[in-house]
């Protein structure tokens, strides 16, 4: 490809990856549709580079990934080896759902009458990842579908090179171990999410009845993530000690209750988990934790900092929540929150948190 053709392609497209990924604090602006002129050049790129990626994605990924490097080569004379590698960003918590009647809602607590007015389908997440340079994401059943993980399985099957999947299991089902094996072996799931926070007085989390489930998870290499209240942390620590082969994610910074006059004693019940190398804390969803509900959620920063000081950068991961338009915080601000406002992270640890740690937990395609 000539340097002139490469430069014309980049300038016509309008630097998609530079404009969106570099403008911290600016609102997300939808990308204009690709025209036929762009398509003709992209066809050339695809023929040169191969088209094994999902047909719905390779055009976007060519634009946001390889195009910037090729442009630098054509214009500046730099070699691809000299170009800075793209930043590895992995969203470890993405809940998606659809209003398609093929996938009916059946919320464990609310039944079929879930008051959700906006859908967040997988296609929105795929487009959002391309626009903001995310390489992979972990899909989570949002509880709307109850114990039926069919929509998440559909999403994983549709885009296996972008996602891994976590489903839901009824924690009080005596056949939970069998259900885990089914979703892992038959549908390729890599883990399950449990929400003891909805059962604040229950002790099923570390009951002997759950030992077979955890033993099965060790055999399968499954990951468990927990939406859990601070007072339940000792039960989780008990299971982490008994089943060290199960990787564990604690969702949303352990859910400190900022409404409490002093939530720190309860919040610190999570800290003993730091002794288990198979445990990671998800420093995610500051908008949920915050009482001010005003970005950049300064009232949450002491808690994220305390987690960092206790667990270190190697035991923290990053996640968001929902794709646009349902997102609570636009992706550019999600990233800005980590890069700018969590200024207590070192540069090296920030890269661990945003992506590299996730590679030690899940098996992503091509990673």
Residues 6+ apart with CB under 8 A from 24: 332, 335, 336, 339, 340
- For domain 90-360, give the CATH superfamily: Metal-dependent hydrolases (3.20.20.140)
- Structure confidence by residue, pLDDT tens digits, 148-170: 999 999 999 999 999 999 999 99
Say yes or no to pLDDT of 118 above 70: yes
Q: What share of the chain is helix, strand, coil (3-state, %, to 5)?
A: 50, 10, 40
Reported as half-sphere exposure (CB side, CA atoms, 13 A), residue 166 has a value of 29
**Torsion angles phi and psi, residue 358, rounded to 5:** -60, -30
Q: Is the pLDDT of residue 41 over 70?
A: no
The listed range with the strongest mean pLDDT (55-69, 75-89, 127-141) is 127-141
Q: What is the pLDDT of residue 82?
A: 57
Q: Give tens-digit pLDDT for 169-209.
A: 999 999 999 999 999 999 999 999 999 999 999 999 999 99
Helix ranges restricted to H, 113-195: 122-132, 150-158, 176-187
Please give the mean pLDDT across all residues of the chain: 84
Structure tokens at 220: 């399968």
Residue 6: what pLDDT?
39
% pLDDT > 90, the chain: 75
Q: What is the pLDDT of residue 66?
A: 45
**Residues 119-140: tens digit of each pLDDT:** 999 999 999 999 999 999 999 9
- For residues 36 and 285, the model is more confident at 285
pLDDT at 146 over 60: yes
Lowest mean pLDDT among 41-55, 74-88, 283-297: 41-55
Alpha carbon distance 259, 266 (integer Å): 12
Closest CA to 314 of 344, 273, 358: 358
Look at residue 78 in the predicted model and tell me its pLDDT.
44
| Res 114: pLDDT | 87
> Per-domain residue ranges for the chain?
3-82, 90-360
CA torsion, ordered 160, 162, 164, 170, to nearest 10 deg: -90
Element of type H or E holding 93? strand 90-95
Residue 220 clears pLDDT 90, i.e. is over it = yes
């Amino acid at each position: 490809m000539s340097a002139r053709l490469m430069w014309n392609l980049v300038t016509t497209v309008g630097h998609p990856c530079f404009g969106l990924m570099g403008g911290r604090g600016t609102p997300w602006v939808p990308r204009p549709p690709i025209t036929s002129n762009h398509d003709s050049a992209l066809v050339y790129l695809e023929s040169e580079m191969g088209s094994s990626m999902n047909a719905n994605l390779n055009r976007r990924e060519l634009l946001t990934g390889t195009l910037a490097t090729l442009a630098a080569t054509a214009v500046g004379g730099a070699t691809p080896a000299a170009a800075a590698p793209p930043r590895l960003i992995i969203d470890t918590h993405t809940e998606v759902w659809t209003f398609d009647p093929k996938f009916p809602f059946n919320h464990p607590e609310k039944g079929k009458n879930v008051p959700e007015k906006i859908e967040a389908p997988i296609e929105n997440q795929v487009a959002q990842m391309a626009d903001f340079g995310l390489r992979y994401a972990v899909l989570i059943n949002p509880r709307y579908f109850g114990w039926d993980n069919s929509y998440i399985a559909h999403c994983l099957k549709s885009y296996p090179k972008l996602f891994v999947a976590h489903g839901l299991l009824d924690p009080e089902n005596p056949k939970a171990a069998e259900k885990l094996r089914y979703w892992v072996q038959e549908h390729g799931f890599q883990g399950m999410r449990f929400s003891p926070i909805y059962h604040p007085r229950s002790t099923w989390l570390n009951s002997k009845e759950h030992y077979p489930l955890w033993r099965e998870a060790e055999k399968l290499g499954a990951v468990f993530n927990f939406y859990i209240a601070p007072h339940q942390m000792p039960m989780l620590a008990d299971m982490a000690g008994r089943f060290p082969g199960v990787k564990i994610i604690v969702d949303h910074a352990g859910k400190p209750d900022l409404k409490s006059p002093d939530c720190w004693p309860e919040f610190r019940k999570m800290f003993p988990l730091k002794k288990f190398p198979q445990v990671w804390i998800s420093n995610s969803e500051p908008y949920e934790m915050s009482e001010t509900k005003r970005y950049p959620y300064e009232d949450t920063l002491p808690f994220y900092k305390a987690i960092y000081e206790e667990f270190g950068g190697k035991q923290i991961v990053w996640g968001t929540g929902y794709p646009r338009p349902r997102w609570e915080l636009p992706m550019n601000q999600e990233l800005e929150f980590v890069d700018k406002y969590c200024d207590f992270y070192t540069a090296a640890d920030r890269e661990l948190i945003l992506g590299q740690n996730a590679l030690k937990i899940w098996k992503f395609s091509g990673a």
